[in-house]
Structure 1
Amino acid sequence: MNSLRARLSLWVLLPLAIALSSSMWFTYLNSLQNAQVRQDHRLWMSAEVIATHIQWDDNHQLEVSMPPVALELLASPYHDQAYFSIQTEDGRLLAGWPDLATSRVTSPAPTVRQTGQNATYHGQKIRLFSTTRSLFDSGQSSQVEILVGQTGLELAADARSHWWPNALREGGILILVMILMLLGLRHELRPLAALRNAIWSREHSDLQPIQLNDLPQELRPVVDTINQYAARLQRQIDSRRRFIEDAAHQLRTPMALLSTQLHYASGLADTPELQRAMAALGQSRQHITQLVNQLLSLSQAENMKANPNARTPVALDPLVHEVMESLAPLAAGHNIELGMGASDTGLTLLAHRPALRAVLFNLLDNAIRYTPPGGTATVSLTRQDAQGVTLEVEDTGPGIPPELRSRVFERFNRGNTQVPGGTGLGLAIVREAALACGGRVSLHGARNGTGLRVQVDFDTTT
């Protein structure tokens, strides 16, 4: 059941219906009890009338003249059957049904005077009243038991007649409450409909905060959350827009240079000038290729950051060796010693493998490019605790001054370096890729003199 209106109605109506049903049931039991009291009173009056007509005859024997009023008291418009029995203490039947005294009683003996009992007689459920009368004659006494019983058709009809108006009244209250509640829900849920319409009617590019007047207090956190989410989306869109503008600007310069070089080379013969122009074209091509590849890596890292559930266990040792092998030619070309520092082995990290590779590749690529010939670039892996792994890449390059370290993570920011060939995207890719793997990047000075030490702390391991 996905309807809020239906669920709210159910939570209100169900307890109310249970309460009213319980009330109607107890009202019926009370009506039945009152009807039983009235029937017991009629049975008692009938028994008392019969008792007044028991007397001694001339032979000192008990006799009874059955008065018509005793049976008239039990007359029923529902054709109830009435039974009576008058017996002496020695079992002599004076009048009535001889086996009425043997009827099976199904309720406890009454503790209140003028109260009958439930019984079964010849398969019929009856209400039975019993009383005794002591009669005296010539100095002797005799006990007479008088039993009067009646079926329960009038009893049930009497209980229903008193219960039915209450049932109609309480059922009407339930229907009235339901109608009023539905009208109230419809009125009070209007702000939700207004919120839906306000969002639905907007243009897709409109991320301005939602402004609704007279908003209920319960809906304000929802609207605030939507506005905050829209603000984050707007910041993300603005960031992407700036990134595209920066990327277009960065690509425009090498492309213009490449076009100039191609134009110049087209007018040259096979001379040393042509060879130098072609070498410059090759460098421009490599720069553009590097820039495009890093732009793609940055975009992929941002996409993976938004999908943490897709992380898989990644063995770190094979990955580090793979990256170092791929960069070995570049390190040899720059006369940089590439190696592993003191590390823990057999570490496994829950991460996106492409993003983790981008972290390693760009850190080592930066270390090789910005370290003077004859320097070193070292990778180390350390287990911090049961839930942590630290990756470090340390070089012997010029390092980054502390005041510039927070800015070098910005896209196309190259800090204070003048080394040609860079794009300013390496550390931006490292940060985004590390975040995609649950890591945090920090910059420090080298432990042994000048240089840069980049530390990446990962929180989730397997």
Structure 2
Amino acid sequence: MKASTRPLRSLRTQLLLWLLVPLILFVGFNIWVTYTNAIQMATVVHDRMLLGSARIIAEQIHYEDDVLQVMIPPAALELFQSDSHDRVYYRVVAANGTLLAGQLDLPDPPHKPHSEEAVYFNASFRDDPVRIVAFSQPVFGVPAQGSVLIEVAQTQHSYKALSDRMWEHTVLQQLAILVLVVLLLLLGLRHGLAPMMRLRDRVQRRKPGTLEALDTAPVPTELAPLVHAINDYVQRLDDHMSAHGRFIANASHQLRTPLTVLNTQVNYGLRSDDAQTKDAALRAINKGVQHGIRLVNQLLTLSNAETGIGHPLRQTDVNLIEIVQTVLEELATLAQTKNIDLGFEFHGTPVMVHATPSMLEELVANLVDNALRYTPAGGIVTITVTGDATVARLCVEDNGPGIPVAEREHVFDRFYRLHQDRSDGSGLGLAIVREIALASQAEIALSCPASGRGLIVTVNFPALPKKAGDASDAEEPHPP
């Protein structure tokens, strides 16, 4: 058997992926949220430093000698000292727009803040992105002078460095947690799958041919359905192998008996010097060979029919009437030999079924042959084919001894013969019929004629829709 090249993933790998993929997605989302929070946190810290510097400058504004005086204390700028070497800019403007201190070209805020209100905004100053706070400070004691606008700006190197450090720290924590979770998952999966591995080892340690049921006690609840399914399969396999063994034993017995008889007849013919005795032995040998050939053919047909149940042979649309006519032509000689009235009743319209032609012919042949063998000389065997929109029906009726109701189920068993003293059959005919019917999705029923004597075997096939132009004007043939 050619090995499959399709890659197989272990259950451990699949479970790990199902657990890790959502976890990785969650970690990725959390990293994005952390990055956003880091930027917001850095912005808050940066804005508070800017506002603190602006308030320190505002505290140093006073009115002296009718002039607003502004002194920039060193503490206002020392707040921004860092390793990033950011540049700090400031501007102090009187209410009338007079520059009191700082850079005149520092950008104006989006709107003028109210008294003691701070406005934060981003801008570009001297080709550098800066963060600016604009703070309105009233001049106490001289209300007429209005509010002084104080702006403090800083380049964003330290701001970016702060947000990056906060984000990197959180990312490292998340990755460390993820690695730890992966290790714990691997350990957990190894421990969780241990019962399955032990179940595998128990199965692998079993000797070939052992068909005992597995014990469900030591397995977890989740594995119990699997063990039950294995036990059910083992039971069905045991039944199949037992039936197979019985079939082989019965087939061997059926073949051994005619071969033994043939050997006896050959020895008898060889020892005899009389020509008539030799001819009688040869005729007996010929009859035994024909019986053996029929038995072998029936065994092969039964095997093919059983194969057709799980793996249907090539099926096509077949006219059941034509199949029956072919079979009757082959068995007409046997009917004439036993002086049996063999009749065929059907309408001119074809009755189509979907089946394997050779198997369907074998089914009809076994039913008719079985009827001819059990019907006494001078009896009647009638085959009827009818059909409608749902069912195509084949009936084989005889006036032989029939089959008691209690025995009708057993006659489909292999090598089962109801009247062993009246027939030279092998007991495979109806078994073959049942297997072919199953492969063709047909149903078999046994019943008794209205006369109370004989047997009717009815096989119902799923009918196929009739096609236009299929009607036939052929006349019903006379019984052969």
Correspondence for 1:427 among 423, 427, 430: 430
* 2:34 corresponding residue in structure 1: 27
Q: Within the alignment, does 1:410 sit opposite 2:417 as a pair?
A: no
CA shift digits 1:413-456 (9 cap, x unpaired): 21136433211111111112222222332211124552211122
CA contact (8 A) 1:394 1:452 kept: yes
Correspondence for 1:363 among 361, 367, 374: 367
- Alpha-carbon offset, residue 25 of structure 1: 3.2
Listed as ranges, the matches of 1:47-446 within 5 Å are 47-56=54-63, 58=65, 60-102=66-108, 116-135=120-139, 140-211=144-215, 214-269=218-273, 271-308=275-312, 310-317=313-320, 318-342=322-346, 345-383=349-387, 386=390, 388-416=391-419, 418-446=421-449
Amino acid at match of 1:253: T
> For the residues of structure 2 that align with 1:36 and 1:61, how far apart are their CA atoms?
36
- Alpha-carbon offset, residue 258 of structure 1: 1.9
Quickly say closer, same or farther: Cα 1:345–1:192, change in 2 above 3 A. Answer: farther
Amino acid at match of 1:423: S
Amino acid at match of 1:435: L
TM normalised by structure 2 equals: 0.84
> For the residues of structure 1 that align with 2:154 and 2:463, how far apart are their CA atoms?
84
> For the residues of structure 2 that align with 1:344 and 1:187, how far apart are their CA atoms?
73
Amino acid at match of 1:40: D
CA contact (8 A) 2:352 2:463 kept: no
CA contact (8 A) 1:344 1:382 kept: no
Q: Within the alignment, does 1:42 sit opposite 2:46 as a pair?
A: no
5+ long unaligned stretches in structure 2: 1-7, 466-480
Amino acid at match of 1:266: L
Identity of aligned residues (%): 38
CA contact (8 A) 2:38 2:163 kept: yes
5+ long unaligned stretches in structure 1: none
- Alpha-carbon offset, residue 153 of structure 1: 2.2
> For the residues of structure 2 that align with 1:202 and 1:404, how far apart are their CA atoms?
41
The answer to which of 196-205 and 171-180 deviates more is 196-205
CA contact (8 A) 1:389 1:458 kept: yes
CA shift digits 1:32-73 (9 cap, x unpaired): 323322211111121122223334464x45453333222222
> For the residues of structure 2 that align with 1:315 and 1:454, how far apart are their CA atoms?
20
The answer to which of 273-282 and 296-305 deviates more is 273-282
> For the residues of structure 1 that align with 2:182 and 2:26, how far apart are their CA atoms?
14
> For the residues of structure 2 that align with 1:347 and 1:123, how far apart are their CA atoms?
95
- Alpha-carbon offset, residue 185 of structure 1: 0.9
CA contact (8 A) 2:388 2:463 kept: no
Quickly say closer, same or farther: Cα 1:98–1:139, change in 2 above 3 A. Answer: closer
* 1:12 corresponding residue in structure 2: 19
Amino acid at match of 1:86: V
Quickly say closer, same or farther: Cα 1:314–1:197, change in 2 above 3 A. Answer: farther
> For the residues of structure 1 that align with 2:97 and 2:343, how far apart are their CA atoms?
121
Alpha carbon RMSD of aligned pairs, Å? 3.1
- Alpha-carbon offset, residue 362 of structure 1: 0.6
- Alpha-carbon offset, residue 384 of structure 1: 5.9
> For the residues of structure 2 that align with 1:183 and 1:42, how far apart are their CA atoms?
49
Quickly say closer, same or farther: Cα 1:81–1:393, change in 2 above 3 A. Answer: farther
> For the residues of structure 1 that align with 2:143 and 2:307, how far apart are their CA atoms?
116
CA contact (8 A) 1:400 1:416 kept: no
CA contact (8 A) 2:88 2:155 kept: yes
Match of 1:453, SS? strand
CA contact (8 A) 2:306 2:436 kept: yes
Quickly say closer, same or farther: Cα 1:145–1:115, change in 2 above 3 A. Answer: closer
TM normalised by structure 1 equals: 0.87
Quickly say closer, same or farther: Cα 1:126–1:375, change in 2 above 3 A. Answer: farther
Quickly say closer, same or farther: Cα 1:140–1:211, change in 2 above 3 A. Answer: closer
Amino acid at match of 1:7: Q
* 2:459 corresponding residue in structure 1: 456
The answer to which of 244-253 and 370-379 deviates more is 370-379
CA contact (8 A) 2:91 2:101 kept: yes
- Alpha-carbon offset, residue 164 of structure 1: 4.2
